[in-house]
Amino acid sequence: MSKPSNEYSRAELLEKQAYERAGYRRRHDNASPEQLKRWSEEGRDRMRLWRAGLTKQQKRDISLRQRFGITQADYDNMKKQQASKCLLCDRSECELVIDHDHDTGIIRGLLCRHCNSMLGWYQRKAERIEAYLSV
């Protein structure tokens, strides 16, 4: 029986992961395309079943960690620091979304959906807009 993941040292975890990757390669290198497709479909089915057992809050927390590297508690703290208002328009009765730099991944703050999409639009068209305004 294997240990729980929190009982492994970093070196043991790295060794275990390398062993598992090597085993995966041994099993999959000689597989036929049909077999790989079947395994892929089976994996998707297992993930669907696993996700179906999660609460909405658990799914949200997983999404925040995967996309932005923060937890729901981090999001809630940011929202509290901003007094539940959009940083640009100061609206408070709206859903706040995470605004981040797409190049660096750095989170800038929470904006309402409208301001976030307008900011993205402006960033894509900045040169044209500035040229137009300078005339």
pLDDT digits (tens, 9 = 90+) for 48-73: 888 888 888 888 888 888 888 888 99
Domain residue ranges in the chain: 8-52, 69-133
> Is pLDDT above 50 for 18?
yes
Burial of 127 (0-12, 13-18, 19+ CB in 10 A): exposed
Whole-number pLDDT of residue 24? 64
Q: Is 44 within 8 Å of 52 (Cβ atoms)?
A: no
pLDDT tens for residues 27-56? Answer: 667 778 888 788 888 888 888 888 888 888
Question: 69-133 adopts what CATH topology?
Answer: His-Me finger endonuclease fold (3.40.1800)
H-helix or E-strand spanning residue 98? strand 96-100
In a 3-state reduction of DSSP, which class is residue 25? Answer: helix
pTM above 0.75, yes or no: no
Instruction: Compute the distance between CA of residue 84 and CA of residue 12 in angstroms, rounded to an integer.
Output: 44
Q: What value does the mean pLDDT of the chain take?
A: 83
